[in-house]
Amino acid sequence: MHDLLLSNGTVHDGFGSPARSADVAISGGRVIAVGRDLGPARRVIDVSGLIVAPGFVDPHSHSDTVPFLAEPQPFKLHQGVTTEIVGNCGFSCGPIAPESAGFMPAELATETFTAFGDYLDAAQAAGPSNNLAVMVGHNTLRLAAGGMAAKLTGEELERMCALAAESFEAGAVGLSSGLEYVPGAYADIDELVALARVARRWNLPYATHMRSESEGLADALDEAVAIAARAGVRLQVSHCKASGRAVHGASAMLLAKLADARRAGLDVRADLYPYRAFCSLLVAVLPPVACEGGEEALLARLADPAARASLRELAEDPATGTGVGFWRELHPGDVQILTHADPAVAGRRLADLPGDPWEALCDLLRRDPHATGVFHTMHDDDVTAIMADPLVSIGSDSGVPVGPNHPRTFGTFPTFLGTYVRERGIVAMPEAIRKLGSAVAAQFGLADRGWLGPGAVADVCVFDPEAVGHDATYEVPDTRPAGMRHVFLAGHEVIAEGEFTGGRHGAVLRRGAP
C-alpha cells in the first residue's frame, strides 16, 4: 500500500515532456509510480484541475542564514520551491577567519564559520524549512586567505585553493564568484581559473555574478566563458540581465554568446528573475578601489572630498572598462533606497535627495556602508527575451525574508508562472516547469530532484494554473503568493490547501548525497 496517492492531476515530469492526466504514488519519501490504477494508498488527495510538478529548484538564492531564524520560514514553500542553491555571488557562510568576518555582507556576517563543513552541520542542526544545497564563495575564500588585500601572494592563492578543496570534500555543490563585489573584484582571470580547476576535481560547476552586467557585459561574459573553458567546468551565469539604458537591447548579444559557447562544447546555462529591477548593496555602485583595505578605509575615503572626486572620475570614465562599480548604468531616479540606518531615507529615490546625486550617495554610505537599494535599470524586452531562452532557468536572487525587501523574495516563481507563462505566453507550461526543475537540478548534481517519475525524491508541488501569481509591489513586496495548493518534501506535506503545516522538514543536501 502506498503512503500517498495524488489522483487525477495534470502531471508534468520536469523534463519538458507534454503533460498527462495521471495519478502519482508516493511511498518512503520517493515517487513510486505515475499512471493509472496504481493500487491503494493510506491517503488519497484529489488534485483534479491542478498541475502536479516536481518541486521547484531555485538556482540562485541567498537564504544561507534562513535556517538560523527563530521561526520556520515557509516563504519559498508558498512558491513551490523545495530546494535552493545558496552560497551565491561569491559569498558563503564559511570558511571565514574571525578577523575577516566583518567584511562579509551584513545578512551573512551574523552566521560565519571557520570551516565550510561546520556551516553545513549547523544549518542542518538548526533545521531548514526547505532543502538547501550550498556553494562555496570566492569572495569568502579570498577574505579567509588574504583579507581585503587587492593582490594575493602565491601562498595566499594556494591557501584559497586548499580551503576550496576542503569545502568541496565537505559537501559544497559548486564554486561561486561575485566579481562586482570586493574583494572578488580584485581577482584576475588566472586566480579564478585556479579555483575553478579545484572544482573540476569533483565535477562541480562555476556560477558567476559577472564583472559587469552593463557597459562591460560583453567582456564580462567572455571572461566567464574563458574561465569555465580553461578549467573544464560547467558554467552557470547568474541573474542574466542587460542593466542600464546604454545596453538595453543587448539581450540578443548575451544569448548569442551563450549559444556560441554551447556549440563550442561548453556546458553553459544561466538564470534570471522575472523583474526589471535588481537589488544590491549601495556600496557596489562605487569603484571597487573605494573598499580596498576594508570598511575603515572606505569611510576615510568618503570623508575626503578629494578622494570622492577621484572615485567619481574613475566611475564616470568609460575608458576604465569592466569592473568599476555600476554608477554609469544608473540614473538617480533608478535608485530606490531599500535599507539604511536612517529609517527616514529608506524607500526614497536617490534623485529625491538634496544636492548632487554622487555626493548624496557618498553621504548615505558614510552613514551606513551596509545600506542596500533596488535599482530599476532593465527593459522588459530584454527580460522577456532572456527568460524565453532554453538555456535560462528562473532564480530568485532573494535573501532573508525580514525587513524591507524585493518582491522576488516572496513571489519569483508564481510571478513567472502567472504573469509570464499564463498571461503572456512567454513559454509553454511544460517548458516553464523544465526551467524550474531538471534544468537547474542537473547543473548542480541533484540527480534525484527536479523531475517527477519513479525513483525521484518526492519533492512535489501542486498548483492551480489559473490562480498562481503574486500581487505585490516594490513598496509592499511581502504579500503571500496565490495558487500553490500542496507542497511535499520527501513525501511530507509542508503546504496543505495553501497553508504551511509547520515544522522544519528540509535538509542540507551535500555533494553526492541523495
What is the rounded distance in angstroms from the CA atom of residue 108 to the CA atom of residue 31? 36
pTM of the model: 0.93
Structure confidence at residue 92 (pLDDT): 98
Distance, CA of 497 to CA of 506 (rounded, Å): 19
Report the C-alpha gap between 55 and 312 in whole angstroms: 46
Where b means 16+ CB within 10 Å and e means fewer, 99-134 reads ebbebbbebbbebbbeebbebbebbbeeebbbbbbb
- Domains of the chain from N-terminus onward: 56-280+377-449 (3.20.20.140), 282-373 (no CATH)
For 381, residues 6+ apart whose C-beta sits below 8 A from its C-beta are 248, 249, 251
User: Quick one: pLDDT at residue 468?
Assistant: 98
* C-alpha–C-alpha distance, residues 74 and 491, integer Å: 16
- List the beta strands (DSSP E) in 96-149: 131-134, 136-137
Please report, in tens digits, the pLDDT of each residue of the chain (514 residues total): 999 999 999 999 999 999 999 999 999 999 999 999 999 999 999 999 999 999 999 999 999 999 999 999 999 999 999 999 999 999 999 999 888 888 888 788 889 999 999 999 999 999 999 999 999 999 999 999 999 999 999 999 999 999 999 999 999 999 999 999 999 999 999 999 999 999 999 999 999 999 999 989 999 999 999 999 999 999 999 999 999 988 999 999 999 999 999 999 999 999 999 999 998 889 989 988 898 888 899 999 999 999 999 999 988 887 665 456 778 888 899 999 998 999 899 889 999 999 999 999 999 999 999 999 999 999 999 999 999 999 999 999 998 998 789 999 999 999 999 999 999 999 999 999 999 999 999 999 999 999 999 999 999 999 999 999 999 988 889 999 999 999 999 999 999 999 999 999 999 999 986 6
Q: What pLDDT score was predicted for residue 101?
A: 86
**Contacts (Cβ under 8 Å, ≥6 apart) of 467:** 482, 483
